[in-house]
Amino acid sequence: MTITQHEHKVSGPGAGPYGITAGPDGALWFTLVHEGGVGRFTPGGELTVHAVGGDPMNIAAGPDGALWFTEFQHHRIGRITVDGEVTRFSPPSPEAGPVGICAGPDGALWFTEMHTDRVGRVTVDGAFTEFALPVSGGYPSMICAGPDGALWFTLNQAHAVGRITVGGEVTVHPLPTEAAAPVGICAGPDGALWCVEIGAGQVGRITPDGQVSEYPLPDRAARPHAICAGPDGALWFTEWGTSRVGRIDTGGRIEVHALPTAGAEPHAICAGPDGALWTALEVGALARIAVRP
């Protein structure tokens, strides 16, 4: 397998590229959390940045052909069309601290509320429902749609992974490792959920019925942050603490690759429309990782 990497500068180092996702228009969409911007970047190199204000953090493609993002400090959910038109919605709970967001199987967006121990649901026209979690101080973080028709999310300070049905029924699965502090989570190609444990330096795998396996990284201090399913049938993750990206296959075999820039601080990672992996680097760039057999 051959790995080819290239970095594309998209902002100054203080702007803070953070979230990234593949959009419905064949481009990458990313957030500039410190600068209040949402950017669009095509695999061909065309860059557009929309100054939206606030603190856009994580971003996901919605079922309505728009992009949806969370604003952690401003306690809002934002929507931006591919033409750059922005709308904002405020969850019913004040000071909610929304973090992760994803499209659900029910045509709505689902998001986590870190400050209120809730998971929220918002329809494309802005109607909210909130679901209380049976955990206090759990810090619900990232969220994804699972293979079982439910939503799966990490509980960073409860060191657990949660599952919520579209009807609001919640199950919490503790991770075996103490102080695991999971953050990123995604659905894998094997019918399981995969998460990264930033506190323990591990990748976790959990089946829909709650069976957990954990895989230690070569560097347990790497601070893995985000994870996604790759185009090669493996899972790819970022190591925020070491400026590396990692790959783990469904059998648990791990390899890591240094990014070209030391101290790049990679955050979110996604599969792009061009068959490569893309990650947002807080130093002001997007990194493209191409994988060939």
Q: Which residues are catalytic?
A: 267
Distance CA 203, CA 195 (A): 6
